[in-house]
Structure 1
Amino acid sequence: MKKIYAAVLLLTASFSVFAQLKTPSEFIPNYGKQISYYHQVEAYFKYLTEQSQFIKKQQYGQTNEQRDLNVYFISVPDNLNNLEKIRNNNLASIGLSNQKSAEVDGKIIVWLSFNVHGNEFAGTESAMTVAYELLNPANENSKKWLQNTIVVLDPCINPDGYSRYGNWLREVSGKKTHPGLYDREHMEVWPGGRYNHYLFDLNRDWAWQTQAESVQRLKIYNQWMPQVHTDVHEMSYNSPYFFPPAAEPLHEFIEQYQRDFYTVLGKNIAAKFDQNNWMYNTRERFDLFYPSYGDTYPTYNGAVGLTVEQGGIGAGREVTMENGANVTIKDRLTHHAATVLTVVESAASQREVLLKGFKDFHLNARKKAKGVYKTYVLKNNAKLEQLTEMLRKNNIEYAYADASGTESGFHYQSKKNVSFKIEPNDLIVKADQPRSVLTQVLFEPNQKLNDSLSYDITAWALPLAYGTEGYAVKNSIQIKTKNTIEIAAKNIPANVYAFYVPWNNRTSAQVLSLLHQAGIKVRSAMKKAVFGTIEIEPGGLIISKADNPKTADFEKTVSSIIKIKSDYNFITTGFSVNSKDIGGENFVLLKAPKILMLSGKGIASTEFGANWFYLDETIAYPVSIVETANLNRVKLYQYNTLILSDGNYDLSEDQKKQLDDWIKNGGKVIAMSSAISLFQDREGYALSLFASKEDKEKSEKEEKELELKKRFLDFEGTERRTISGSIPGAIIENKLDKTYPLAFGLGNSYFSLKTNERSFSLLKNAVNAVYIPKGYLSYGFVGNDIKKKLNETVSFAVDKKGDGSVIYMMDNPLFRGFWENGILLFSNALFLVN
């Protein structure tokens, strides 16, 4: 009793020392009236850490634009002095650490993430109020919560996007607010502040970790593994506040304790909102299924992951809603602060329940896997290099087979149960591991979708995304394994005739990028060629001494560039075993791309960003980016490749004519998604919705008949009926023309991630390199109407026009940067298709 009394006295004394803690309004001019600069946010948190013993900072990284990424630990001083012990205790409770300390047992970790979308800025504004209230010496409630709670507060996940939006809003702001809808502060300019530097949506990147912010954040997140994670968002300013429970579909692996806490939270937050007559909704729009959100990823790691949403996008500083009321920055941050503080309070009050549920989630999943399958086997190929990198980022354990064996299991590529051989170096991933649930969510071939009204893509099976033959096995395979694949060192002779680089993953494209930039000539194989024991597959790169007579110290120079590709090799003769000599027509000399990419108004920001990131980061290849409005100022003949990201291109007839002439004279266009409409039904191009007049008339007749039937349908079922013609994001089987460069290296078939309803019949007078066959296989939700329409439609085609070509891409193979086989397909289009 004396110890408790002494602790209370010490706690009270500590608060009294810092009794003059400034509020955000006292520290930042116009707080709640104007967006804060990011440096002001950092300054306020710096002030708090200097003035209070209850907060500690940790910088965990930097953005692409060199802004700091920070988290702040908030708790009582005794807990902050024992953070490492508390962290290890938490990990030990779920089998991730063997360092356990009884003196710090029973602490709950609540992680708060704000502003993953930069233009949802009330999140970061509210983070300052949340921090103040947790530290406020006069707040008796927070003192109680923090006794056994560690709050990890990330005030801004996306500082680059937040700053882009904030700088713009301040630039267009006058002294008066303009709540009317048509003021420019309600009309954000392209590309907007929602996304990060490369215009990626960081809220879709938790599992894939393609972006620097995600990689750095997930590293520290997985070192802590909180019990509760709150992701603070905004949505359209007319929308009432959203908080849990979430809408269906909820993934079947979500435990009852997680679902129960969503209900507890909903009731507790609702009580606060009811007291203030604030509008809200639950269980309507935001589901828990796609694994790469800021709510689902934590949930699949045992936390109660949740999203909260305040109406505010497009509101600027103040806007009049459709109900006639005005919503201000102050309103938005106040609602968020009340919600987030209620989350902390609820978690503290439910601490024992949450800790037990969290522990059972992990330990029970290891004892008995939740899903159907216990082991996943992926056949050895070069694309495993990127897959295992993604697994490492997520702390998912894997090994390689070190023996041979025979098993039976579900084959992802055929959707059949088959017998197969396990061979040395095949990848083995078991469900019985610390990240058991996340592993199964990512690998399970058939995700159970209990409601087709999903908010995002509904399939992501990793073997299909990475283009590797995969099997899901119901039992735990017992086979000898090893941790790494040993790669034998290459002894390069003094005189090499040519080097060979297989074309089979993104590293191949990275190598070709480096070779082109070094001015080294490269050839690519059109058909299989054999030189002694070396087999060169279609697409394989040949760097010969004959093509590069001016390259000093040829062997050393080339090997230093291509060494990042561990499976490279060399040949000592140009004479092939199968009549495919190096000097013959089988080996085509590749042209180094000179790339122009258009940007600006009308172009989908994230689709442009995916292309930009691929060029700038994935293959580090130079690109000129020009606003579409400035296209008239560009001399097209200085480029040989034009990339048109998804979007609406309002080109004049004169500009179209210039583009036509440029293509005829050897230019190559890569047109993606909506951008293909520039060429649809135009003279000289093959792109048409229908293969014949009869097909068009048949489709129009079916549409008219459907309209007549709709007259008798009720209004209530409108939304449900609409999804019959939708495909929010599903995996679709494609056939390949394996003889054409666009298909090189992709394997025996290609599984595309289709995210729109666009479909074109197989094109006449063009190369249908990748197309959806009749009776195709699919994963995820595909509406009944669209499912029928996709039979025998083209996904990727090449339309030759004069000396040039147009490559049509119905979908973006670089979507979100994680579809690894799509990255290779785009590399084919960029480098191999002439």
Structure 2
Amino acid sequence: MLNRKEPSSFWCLFALVAGLFCSPIYALDDADYLPKSVTYAPDIATPKSVLGSAVGEWHVRHDQLVQYMQLLASQSPRMQIKEIGRTHENRPMLHLYVSSPENLSRLESIREQHLQNWQQSKGQISKQMPAVVWMGFSIHGDEPSGANSSLLLAYYLAAAQGQEIDSLLQNTVIILEPSLNPDGLARFAQWANMHKGKNLVSDPNHREHLQGWPSARTNHYWFDLNRDWLLLTHPESQARIEEYHRWRPHVLTDYHEMGSNSTYFFQPGVPSRTNPWTPVENLRLTTEFAKFFANDFDKVKRSYFTEEGYDDFYYGKGSSYPDAHGSIGILFEQASSRGHVQDTINGQLTFPRTIENQLMMSLATLRGAQVLRPQLLEFQSKFNTDAAKLAQADELAGYLVTESADKARLNKMLDKLSAHQIHYYPVNKSLEVDDVQFTAEHSYFIPLEQPQYRLLKSLFSNRKRFNDNTFYDVSNWNIALAYNITYRGIERSRWRKVSYFEASSQKKKANASVVNENAVAHAFSWQDSNAPTLLQMLLNRGVKVRIAAAPFNAISQLGDSPMLPGSAVIQAGDKQPENYLNIVKELADELGIRIWSISTGLTTEGIDLGSRNVQLVEMPKVMILGGRGMSQYEAGELWHYFDQQLQLPVSIVEWSDLESISLEDYTHIFMVNGRYKQLSASATQKVGDWLQNGGTLIGQQNAAKWFSKQEWLATTFVDDEAIDNAFDVTGYSYADKDKLEANKLIAGAVYETETDMTHPLLFGFGEQAKKLPMFKSSNLIMRKPAKPFLTVASYSTNPLMAGYSADEMQKLVANSAAIVAHKKGNGRVIAILDRSNFRGYWQGTNRLLSNAIYMSQFIDVEAK
């Protein structure tokens, strides 16, 4: 049984005198965590009185967290509660607003005045305004100490009595978000609690400390929500960012956990890895807050570290997104018990201790915000003024973007800009820039002179060189490259040639389709990225659809209409459902896709509608192979794309079940990065036989390499030794070893590929896809097959478009294969080396996934 070591009387006396904490190694009561320098109102419910056990004895479920926060809001005049959104699993996302009763009575006017202060220039701010502190907990569901500590923090703020708390509430508006990832938190609480025994087990090998697949770090679709603040793929992030821009807090705290053998980290992080658009004053204020954190930990002799291991380069995290907006984002990382208690190199680490540390840092943050309030107000008021000066000094006036064939993809990018409060304007006069035609109908101008200047520069960055080339996360997230949207920076000397409507953030609407009931067929182009969705929705409703593998000119209601390869054809003679025309029009209008009504099967040019090249689409039955050892992130990206965007139900099957199930009914199997050595010989043979008999096998990253080893894929890969040999280590010292390993990685950069636009996997891609940006996050290098027609895309001679990659890696990757596809027996094998739906953000390549499903039947080149 766990030995509950009580603290010595000396430390209890010290804590009481210092007004800090006096908790045993395993909490006996909520009071063990709380400051002793105040009294607590008896009419405010403690967490234990509601949950039935002290905080930390069990992992709190999200529904319990919601219940307690709602109760506190009903009991305390210091609190208001708001539901800001719902998760994928329909769990409520709560914000608890905490301040003095007087402040809460005029909360909306405080918010409005605060935003006015943010917009004012230096010297015009109201210095009596409270500091706004947003405290968000446990965006990774299996890092629960933050969310559990929010119970105690909320109780303290509701129940503490005395001048100390009154002063804090008078000078602060606190936005408390008890769980940033409700679905993940619920999943982990269930896991940890279901494995807890009467006698706690601290063995790190105990099942409690080793989650199943997928882990509760992620949300419902297995995405890391801490990477989604900028990308906004999920409803949790979308609701959060909308609320963030309603408030623009002065401080935003972000509570995490790290490896069990660590201590405690708080920012500042590695100075050389700060985003260059983050103001220097932000770093200074972050350092000022660190003094409060260090002071409290020093008093109780607890270990911590700063300026090591973590960075603030990628603007898509909870601790870095605020830095682009005049807020101070602060990251906390607590060593994780990953359960109730775990043995570590520092001794036993208990769940209550992790909770107590997070609570201590929360209260230190609030004290820091109160003391630093004048500086925070001043910094935020100058933020916009400084951004305006930077914009006026910039050699660029803004960016022009255009996309004529795929309005859905362009509109998705514009929606993303709007969500981040970035303004864009429809162009009303066509112009040419650098041999690119920006037509009025399809183009927009995004000026740099707007409050989001810093974020805009980051979103359109193509930087390739950095002071520090080691990245904790991705080194580029250029939004135009991610969406494969043509863009050009407009120099300030030329911007007056850009004519645009003054109405900001207005998108051009698609016209509704007119469907002719007497037509022999109806067709729609494959160029719009919503076309695969329309196809699948039609299949789901029983409508029979064919795909044309070759171009043709049809006679439609619009005259002679050219249709490109990949166009979908709905023939009246295919025994369609009775009301199929209503279905077609309804769905097409919903997705903004034009329908052509074709009057005759005889075309004016190209194949006729009865050609063998116009093939019926089979209802796909798709499997994603998952399980321990497979990338939950990549599997989640596929699942999310198919389920949310494509409306295609998919089966997620654990690799360990392959031997016991029939593969006969599956048309496609997707495999992601993973450890494929764990598959048995019989399971591997089973997949190989299924492929030979007509299945389509698609692999990303390491799965493609495994295909090659099985001799299913007609190419080979560059080995690790060749990568090692590419680096000259002459003169390297021991201190350079980490730098060398970092240079061998491609952590997240944009690479240019040259594509075969005639290949079925590229059907529907616009002309700009001849040079297709792909997001590369591994150093895998796939050689081009010797036989022609197998390489769908290859990296260009100078492939790096944006982000960091070592010169040695660029040379190795140059002219190698990015996508290879061919027949294998009666089936097809497709290798896509990069993550084509990276974090749900890389919209410019994710339709490779849908083409791998609907166009694979047209891949007819064998590799021998």
Tell me if both proteins adopt one fold, taking TM over 0.5 as the criterion. yes
Question: Relative to structure 2, which stretch is displaced further, 582-591 or 391-400?
Answer: 582-591
Counterpart position of 1:251: 275
Counterpart amino acid of residue 205 in structure 1 = D
Measured in 1, the distance between the counterparts of 2:127 and 2:97 equals 16
Counterpart amino acid of residue 559 in structure 1 = K
| Cα gap change, 1:613 to 1:704, in 2 (>3 Å) | closer
| Cα gap change, 1:713 to 1:170, in 2 (>3 Å) | same
Q: 2:308 aligns with which of 272, 279, 284?
A: 284
Counterpart amino acid of residue 833 in structure 1 = S
Q: 1:345 aligns with which of 343, 367, 371?
A: 367
> Is 2:74 aligned against 1:47?
no
Contact (CA 8 Å) 2:250, 2:326: kept in 1 or not? yes
Q: Percent identity?
A: 27
Contact (CA 8 Å) 2:343, 2:349: kept in 1 or not? yes
Measured in 1, the distance between the counterparts of 2:150 and 2:780 equals 41
Counterpart position of 1:145: 168
Give 1:792 shift: 1.7
Runs (5+) with no aligned partner, structure 1: 1-14, 409-417, 691-695
SS at match of 1:374: strand
SS at match of 1:42: helix
Counterpart position of 1:413: none
| Cα gap change, 1:281 to 1:372, in 2 (>3 Å) | farther
> Is 2:247 aligned against 1:231?
no
Counterpart amino acid of residue 474 in structure 1 = E
Measured in 2, the distance between the counterparts of 1:161 and 1:610 equals 16
SS at match of 1:345: helix
> Is 2:496 aligned against 1:479?
no
Measured in 2, the distance between the counterparts of 1:330 and 1:371 equals 51
Counterpart position of 1:756: 778
Counterpart position of 1:438: 455
Q: 1:128 aligns with which of 144, 148, 151?
A: 151
> Is 2:663 aligned against 1:636?
yes
Contact (CA 8 Å) 1:767, 1:797: kept in 2 or not? yes
Counterpart position of 1:414: none
TM-score by length of 2: 0.88
> Is 2:476 aligned against 1:459?
yes
Aligned runs of 1:195-210 on 2, under 5 Å?
195-210=218-233
Measured in 2, the distance between the counterparts of 1:700 and 1:19 equals 68
Counterpart position of 1:667: 695
Aligned runs of 1:263-412 on 2, under 5 Å?
263-312=287-336, 315-323=338-346, 325-369=347-391, 372-381=395-404, 382=406, 383-407=409-433
Alpha-carbon displacement from aligned partner over 1:684-743 (angstroms, at most 9, x marks no partner): 5413226xxxxx8xx96885797xx75974211100111221111000000101111112
SS at match of 1:281: coil
Measured in 2, the distance between the counterparts of 1:214 and 1:227 equals 19
Counterpart position of 2:4: none
Alpha-carbon displacement from aligned partner over 1:461-500 (angstroms, at most 9, x marks no partner): 1111111111112324541326332434443333123222
Measured in 2, the distance between the counterparts of 1:824 and 1:727 equals 23
Give 1:257 shift: 2.2
Q: 2:537 aligns with which of 514, 520, 533?
A: 514
| Cα gap change, 1:489 to 1:161, in 2 (>3 Å) | closer
Counterpart position of 2:733: 714
Alpha-carbon displacement from aligned partner over 1:393-434 (angstroms, at most 9, x marks no partner): 2222112111123445xxxxxxxxx67555333021111223
Counterpart position of 1:426: 443
Counterpart amino acid of residue 152 in structure 1 = I
Measured in 2, the distance between the counterparts of 1:270 and 1:660 equals 58
SS at match of 1:175: coil
Aligned runs of 1:678-757 on 2, under 5 Å?
678-683=706-711, 685-689=713-717, 713-746=732-765, 747-757=769-779
Runs (5+) with no aligned partner, structure 2: 1-37, 858-864
Measured in 1, the distance between the counterparts of 2:840 and 2:94 equals 25
Contact (CA 8 Å) 1:33, 1:328: kept in 2 or not? no
> Is 2:102 aligned against 1:78?
yes
Question: Relative to structure 2, which stretch is displaced further, 569-578 or 739-748?
Answer: 569-578
Question: Relative to structure 2, which stretch is displaced further, 331-340 or 138-147?
Answer: 138-147
> 4+ residue stretches of structure 1 with deviation over 4 A?
101-105, 418-422, 699-706, 709-712
Give 1:109 shift: 1.0
Give 1:22 shift: 4.3
| Cα gap change, 1:16 to 1:188, in 2 (>3 Å) | closer
Counterpart position of 2:11: none
Counterpart position of 1:535: 562
Contact (CA 8 Å) 2:319, 2:329: kept in 1 or not? yes
Counterpart amino acid of residue 472 in structure 2 = Y
Counterpart amino acid of residue 462 in structure 1 = I
Contact (CA 8 Å) 1:378, 1:470: kept in 2 or not? yes
Measured in 2, the distance between the counterparts of 1:170 and 1:307 equals 27
| Cα gap change, 1:435 to 1:685, in 2 (>3 Å) | closer
Contact (CA 8 Å) 1:371, 1:444: kept in 2 or not? no
Counterpart position of 1:491: 514
Alpha-carbon displacement from aligned partner over 1:41-91 (angstroms, at most 9, x marks no partner): 223223322322111111112222222110100100011111111111122
| Cα gap change, 1:198 to 1:702, in 2 (>3 Å) | closer
RMSD of the TM alignment (CA)? 2.6
SS at match of 2:605: coil
> Is 2:502 aligned against 1:502?
no
Alpha-carbon displacement from aligned partner over 1:348-385 (angstroms, at most 9, x marks no partner): 21212212211221233235417653311111332212
Question: Relative to structure 2, which stretch is displaced further, 127-136 or 454-463?
Answer: 127-136
Give 1:330 shift: 1.6
Contact (CA 8 Å) 1:729, 1:753: kept in 2 or not? yes
Counterpart position of 1:215: 238
Counterpart position of 2:811: 788
Measured in 1, the distance between the counterparts of 2:832 and 2:130 equals 52
Give 1:294 shift: 0.6
Measured in 2, the distance between the counterparts of 1:374 and 1:810 equals 37
Counterpart position of 2:7: none
Contact (CA 8 Å) 1:257, 1:354: kept in 2 or not? no
Measured in 1, the distance between the counterparts of 2:669 and 2:700 equals 11
Measured in 1, the distance between the counterparts of 2:530 and 2:694 equals 28
Alpha-carbon displacement from aligned partner over 1:134-171 (angstroms, at most 9, x marks no partner): 23333542321221210000000111111111111111
Alpha-carbon displacement from aligned partner over 1:763-816 (angstroms, at most 9, x marks no partner): 244621111122324210102332221012111211311111111121221121
Contact (CA 8 Å) 2:95, 2:176: kept in 1 or not? yes
TM-score by length of 1: 0.91
Alpha-carbon displacement from aligned partner over 1:155-201 (angstroms, at most 9, x marks no partner): 00111111111111111111122223222222122111111111111
Give 1:104 shift: 11
Aligned residues: 796
| Cα gap change, 1:703 to 1:106, in 2 (>3 Å) | closer
Contact (CA 8 Å) 1:252, 1:448: kept in 2 or not? no
Counterpart amino acid of residue 354 in structure 1 = L
Counterpart position of 1:156: 179
